[in-house]
Structure 1
Amino acid sequence: MNVLTAILLVVSFITFKFYQSTKVPKGLKNVPTLSFLDFLITIYINAGPDKRWEYARETLEKEGIAKAWSNGNWVLVVTDLELAKDILTKTDLYPKALLKESFPKSLLTQYYGVNLVFSNGDEWKRHRRIANPSFRNLPVHVFVESATKLLNIVEKIDNEPIEVNNLMHRLTLDVLGKAAFGFDFNNLEDPNNVYVTAYKEVMEEFRNPLYFVFSFLDNLPRSEATKKIAKLNNLYDGIVESKRKSMKMDELEKKINNNSADLLERMIYACKDPENPTLTNEELRHDLAIFMLAGHDTIRKYEISLPEDSIHKDKLQIEPDVSGTSGPHPVPLIFKRRTE
């Protein structure tokens, strides 16, 4: 009887917590709802934004706004341009949700913490003030070098499909590493290097569908996932320490003053005073994490345009998506060497 009672209590607790988290707030009851089952399917098959858009297209094109249940919370998805403009510009009325408040014990908070994206007000301004100058004078030669390396890789592929989406991910991460961190991830030539592998392992933990359905499980220890995050954080720390050791403080100050410092150098300089740092070492690591996300997981859309009379084009093969949709999707390219 005691065992049965315990089981009933556990089931009742799980049911109650699930009901609590899925109950629609009064203010959102009249807002159209996106299917949570469809959302779970996109997570399970690791679909990109193009696939997710297909599941939500009809509702969002008609209404411009919809609610969706995600990771234990109801969120609003907005596509109406005027409403989106208000949300993005009136930050006093629409502050960003903070990880430490929305998911205080989650892996997401542990990994991303407080950073340039997940911060508001003066805290956001502080992060932005440090990072912003780095993007005013981007080193063009880095883009040229990485693009040349990409072309060399494509040139070696003879009469075989080329996974453009994958190559764009690898290219972007290499450019980000060199331009922002002064570090070569070498992802184009070695897509399974330790940095990318560790990053992907952490992202897989975040995409676990079980925690999207039962978000309160995040309150329980996840030792394996925590170890993976610690491993990735150690790699980030290694990049930072390598940069610190390679430069003297007077050299760094000179680069800051003439606006030639990269993003990582500016963040390291912001940490230089241990008594009163503009940026803490932990915040530096969290900013590195969010920029890694920007460099690896946001390159999902692209357009390929080749003029009909292009002397460089032999054949462009576009295979329709199996779903029959017209949205962006990976396009296999086949290039044939000219024989004439």
Structure 2
Amino acid sequence: MISNDANKQLQRLASFYTTYVLPYVKRRSPQTFIAAAIAAFFSYQVYNFVQVPRKLRHIPAVPFWAYMKSALSEEGIDLRTRNIILPVLENSPNGMYLRPNRFGWCVGVAGPSAMKTLLLRKDFEKHRGIALQPEALFSKFLGTQNIVTLNGSVWKKHRMIANPAFHRSMPVKLFGRLCEKMMTQFEKEGDGIDSVDIPMFLQRFTLDVIGLAAFGYDFEALGDPKNAKVDTYNTIMDGLRNPIYFFFPILEKRFLWALPKRRAVHNRMEDMNQIFYSIIENKRQTLENMKGLAEDAEKDLLTLMLEANADSKEAGDRLSDSELRDDLAIFFLAGHDTTSNALSFALYHLAANPQIQEKARKEVIDILGDGDDVVYPTASQCSDMKYVYMVMKETLRLEPPAQNTTLRENKEDFELAGTFIPKGTSVSADIYVMHHNPSVWKDPEVFIPERFAPDGESESKAGSGLSWVPFGNGARQCIGMNFSLAEQKVLLSMMLRKFTWTLADNSINKDGIVLGGGTGIISPKDLHLKLTKRF
């Protein structure tokens, strides 16, 4: 006999498929019976997915159906955090809770003490789920041998090759040249500077930056945003953001044959791989001719990695072409959308807080001088921009580049901040949730750059764990952090020197930033700014 609780779960399951799954697969399947078969298979998968594992029931869990409805809709992480997650965290003494993930239920860590342990200790290794799902678009793009998901000695080999490249490369001149190109492009498209589509321009800017800085490869996104190279890359990025495939990778494993539009996106990966491998081969062939012709700081990352690879004494310490390709795919994902979104949010907060914008502008003018000439900030001048850096750090607190880190897994039973975590549990650093947790930050929804001033709120938290982790921390901290921060400082300072700006008329963001839906990377929705030239 089925219990009342089981009946309720089945009713919710039926409703869930009627509302979300069946319409979704019908739109993508040419025949209704195929869609029905997929939905029936889904019902079995999700019914097992709904139940919290017995070994984790001592940890507060979000309501499954409410969470999944939010995650699969257009709702942003801000609404999901405020309405679903934070009420659960009120019953968690250490900022830990359970939420659904593509591999079942995972422990979300949103407390400073637990965060410090998770990120700094070696008890938790990166989850290797990506290697177990080679059919997924996510796995095909990132590969299975990349610097983010590997562990142990193999990860150290990748880090040893990549570290020198990121420490030697800081192409601020490139950042400045492309920023100037973008600013001149503002007036040539759409409504000109009266209504600038900020995320669109910044995605093009950062794509050209990462293409040239990582590969020495010009996507020409600023000059020709609809060219084939950009279209291939953007098609794949749009595919990666789709939440239905994130939570249900079984679709790509078992039913890709019935989903022609998704299959077409997978086919574009072949074009992307041709780009990756041809760049590596061409770069290797021209490397000899480049020796002594460029400063390390302005060399692209691939050149520096190939040099480090060649300098490795043992063959086992070198990266193969496929390993180089996987690392470069990671650098693209981490260095494109994340930085463009961070900049979009920073420009929004400066528009919404004109007194902060003016204070940041004054600092920039004191450092770079004033006038209608074009000035590219140097690395040294970027280091002097203390208040601009506070603006960036507060932006990264409110809208960190990623909602959470890639999953980790404990190899043995472990106690994390007083909570028992059984062996083999998926654990994630929930960065966005912690940054908005009122038990961690005062008035967490208010934009206050002075939190990061000397003796400010951030410094006062130093002894309680890690409360600000937009790039992670510890040995697995984002390797491109300094690269991204320098890119942000160059663009913000050049924008502040040339323009003032406000939100565009009739902006949907007048009463607060509106976030796009989906999982993973946080992005603004329909953000247009009205720019005014200062000269």
The farther-off stretch of 113-122 and 218-227 is: 218-227
Classify 1:283/1:255 alpha carbon distance in 2 versus 1 (closer, same or farther; 3 Å).
Answer: farther
| Residue in structure 2 matching 1:245, options 269, 275, 285 | 285
Q: Residues 287 and 313 of structure 1: is their aligned pair in 2 closer, same or farther, counting only changes over 3 Å? A: closer
Contact 1:271 1:280 in 2 (8 A): no
Q: Indicate conservation of the 8 Å contact 1:267/1:279, yes or no.
A: no
Which of these residues, 114, 119, 126, is aligned with residue 96 of structure 1?
126
Contact 1:78–1:84 (Cα < 8 Å) also in 2: yes
Q: Give the AA of the match of 2:182.
A: L
198-207 vs 215-224, which deviates more? 215-224
Residues 178 and 184, structure 1, Cα contact 8 Å, conserved in 2: yes
Cα deviations by residue, 1:39-92 (Å, 9 ceiling, x for unpaired): 0014xxxx7xxx2133213524745333322334323333222222221111x2
1:33 corresponds to 2:62: yes
Match of 2:157 in 1: 126
Asked if 2 retains the 8 angstrom alpha-carbon contact of 1:211 and 1:217, the reply is yes
**Residue 303 of structure 1: aligned partner:** 346
Match of 1:194 in 2: 228
Question: What is the letter of the counterpart of residue 300 of structure 2?
Answer: D
Q: 1:203 to 1:84 in 2, by over 3 A?
A: same
- After TM superposition, the structure 1 stretch with the greater mean CA deviation from structure 2, 329-338 or 176-185, is 329-338
Contact 1:173 / 1:185 at 8 angstroms: preserved in 2?
yes
Aligned in 2, Cα 1:287/1:336: closer, same or farther, shift over 3 Å?
Answer: same
The 2-side partners of 1:85 and 1:322 are apart by 34
Report the identity percentage. 27
1:224 paired to 2:254: no
8 Å contact from structure 1 (residues 131, 267) kept in 2: yes
Distance in structure 2 (CA, Å) of the matches to 1:136 and 1:37: 43
**Whole-Å Cα distance in 1 between the matches of residues 322 and 62 of structure 2?**
38
Work out whether residues 22 and 72 of structure 1, in 8 Å CA contact, stay in contact via their aligned partners in 2. Answer: no
Aligned to 1:73: 104
CA distance in 1, matches of 2:48, 2:165: 44
Separation in structure 2 between the aligned mates of residue 132 and residue 286 of structure 1, nearest angstrom: 16
Q: Which residues of 2 match residues 55-74 of structure 1 at below 5 A?
A: 55-58=80-83, 59-60=85-86, 62=90, 63=92, 64-74=95-105
> 481, 484, 502: which is aligned to 1:316?
502
- Equivalent residue in structure 1 for 2:200, among 166, 183, 187: 166
Mapped to 1, the partners of 2:205 and 2:125 lie a distance apart of 33
What residue identity is the alignment partner of 2:102? N
Higher relative contact order (CA 8 A, sep 6+): 2
CA distance in 2, matches of 1:281, 1:266: 14
Query: Residue 327 of structure 2: SS of its match in structure 1?
Result: helix
C-alpha contact (below 8 Å) 1:270/1:277 kept by paired residues: no
- Where does the alignment leave 5 or more consecutive residues of structure 1 unmatched? 1-7
Residue 264 of structure 1 aligns to which amino acid in structure 2? L
Contact 1:99/1:108, CA 8 A, preserved across alignment:
no
* Alpha-carbon distance, 1:322 to partner: 6.3
Instruction: Tell me if structure 2 keeps the 8 A contact 1:116–1:128.
Output: yes
Match of 1:264 in 2: 302
Structure 1: distance between partners of 2:38 and 2:224: 47
Q: Secondary structure at the match of 1:237?
A: helix
Partner letter of residue 77 of structure 2? R
Question: Aligned residue for 2:115?
Answer: 84
Q: Are residues 314 and 289 of structure 1, via their aligned partners in 2, closer, same or farther at CA, if it must alter by over 3 Å? A: closer
3-state DSSP of counterpart to 1:335? strand
Partner of 2:126, secondary structure, is coil
Instruction: Indicate the residue corresponding to 2:78 in structure 1.
Output: 53
CA distance in 2, matches of 1:247, 1:180: 14
Sort the Cα spacing of 1:192 and 1:11 in 2 relative to 1 into closer, same or farther, 3 A: closer
* 1:110 and 2:296 aligned: no
Residues in 2 aligned to 1:74 and 1:26: alpha-carbon distance in whole angstroms: 11
**Mapped partners of 2:124, 2:316: distance in 1:** 31
Aligned-partner Cα distance in 1 for 2:305–2:217 = 14
Match of 1:5 in 2: none
Tell me which amino acid in the other structure corresponds to 1:28.
L
Q: C-alpha displacement at 1:162, in angstroms?
A: 0.6
| 2:177 counterpart residue number | 145
**Are residue 236 (structure 1) and residue 276 (structure 2) matched?**
yes
Query: Alpha-carbon deviation of 1:232?
Result: 1.0
CA 1:244–1:57: 2 relative to 1, 3 Å: same
Counterparts in 2 of 1:125 and 1:53: CA distance versus 1, 3 Å? farther
Q: Report if aligned partners of 1:169, 1:295 keep a CA contact under 8 Å in 2.
A: no
Distance of aligned partners of 1:75 and 1:325 in 2 relative to their CA distance in 1, 3 Å threshold: farther
Which amino acid letter does the alignment assign opposite residue 110 of structure 1? K
Alpha-carbon separation, structure 2, partners of 1:337 and 1:322: 22
Q: CA RMSD, aligned part only?
A: 3.7
Q: Counterpart of 1:281?
A: 321
Aligned pair in 2 of structure 1 residues 108, 315: CA closer, same or farther (>3 Å)? closer
When the two structures are superposed, what TM-score results if normalisation uses the length of structure 2?
0.52
